[in-house]
A = this chain, B = another copy of it.
Amino acid sequence: MQILLATTNEGKVRELRKLLEDFRVEIISLKDVSIKFDVKEDRSTFLENALKKAKEYALYYSIPVVADDSGLVVDALGSMPGVYSARFYEIEFGGKVEDQAKTTDQKNIQKVLKLMEGEKNRSAKFVSCVVFYSPEGWGLFAEGECMGEITEYPQGNKGFGYDPIFKPEGYDRTMAQLDIDEKNRISHRGRAFSKLSEKLSKIIT
């Protein structure tokens, strides 16, 4: 059985391969398909975005697809950036950040830190939803969370996205200061993928 992981991120591909290594499943990624197209993530929840992506790719390529959508949810910002996590810097909420010299990650982080200036309640969570969609018209999904808080300034250079300003519960380091194995064990995405692969393994074998 072949499964398409809807990503071009080799790290995610390796991770899913590891989780499903006991099963006769071959994981390919969007790097391995010849005709490429993007699916617009325009839904209001992570689960709906992941579902939309998995379904559109599965029906187009006629193979089972695993897709995920993840983001940061900050209590004091009314659950923002949420589904806007990847492009938080450019949405109207809280003002846009325009700085050509910075990467998208840096602009997103700058905006969150600015909006959180002086804020006492720094509670936040990373949320990940991962969906398996079979072109036979059925599927599985799992959600994973990682509770934590927003730091006062960025620390660490591992990981990506908001990792440098997110300190997981029970840790005195940010997500960007953790080794990849440790991050995968406690991260929202790691938890969602483990949950999904545990259920999936019971169905596809």
Question: A residues 128-184 with Cβ under 8 Å of B?
Answer: 136-145
Give A181-205 as 1s and 0s: 1 = Cβ < 8 Å from B's Cβ atoms: 0000000000000011001001100
A201 to chain B minimum Cβ distance, whole angstroms, is 10
Contact between chains at B137 and A144 (CB < 8 Å): yes
Q: What residues of chain B lie closer than 8 Å to A141, measured between beta carbons?
A: 138-141
10 nearest A-B pairs in the assembled complex, by CB-CB distance:
A137-B143, A138-B142, A202-B203, A202-B202, A138-B195, A139-B141, A48-B48, A140-B140, A199-B203, A138-B199
Contacts of A203 in B (CB 8 A): 199, 202-203
A194: min CB distance to chain B, Å: 11
Query: In the assembled complex, which residues on chain B have CB atoms less than 8 Å from the CB atom of A196?
Result: 138
Closest Cβ of chain B: how far from A195's Cβ, in Å?
5
Question: Total interface residues on A, using CB and 8 Å?
Answer: 20
Q: Does A65 belong to the interface (CB within 8 Å)?
A: no
Q: A47's closest neighbor in chain B, by CB?
A: B51
What residues of chain B lie closer than 8 Å to A142, measured between beta carbons? 137-139
Within 48-95 of A, Cβ neighbours of B (below 8 Å) are at 48, 51, 55
Residues in B whose Cβ lies below 8 Å from that of A195: 136-138
Q: How far is the CA of A83 from the CA of B43 in the complex (A)?
A: 16
**How many angstroms between the C-alpha atoms of A144 and B203 in the bound complex?**
19
Contact with B along A110-127 (1 / 0, CB 8 A): 000000000000000000
Residue contact A140 to B139, C-beta cutoff 8 Å: yes
Within the complex, the shortest CB–CB distance from A135 to chain B, in Å, comes to 11
Q: How far is the CA of A143 from the CA of B139 in the complex (A)?
A: 9
Contacts of A143 in B (CB 8 A): 137-138
Contacts of A136 in B (CB 8 A): 195
Given contacts A138-B199, A202-B202, 6 further A-B contacts (CB under 8 A): A48-B51, A136-B195, A137-B142, A138-B141, A138-B142, A141-B141
Listed residue (A48, A137, A143, A196) with the most chain B CB atoms within 10 angstroms of its CB: A137
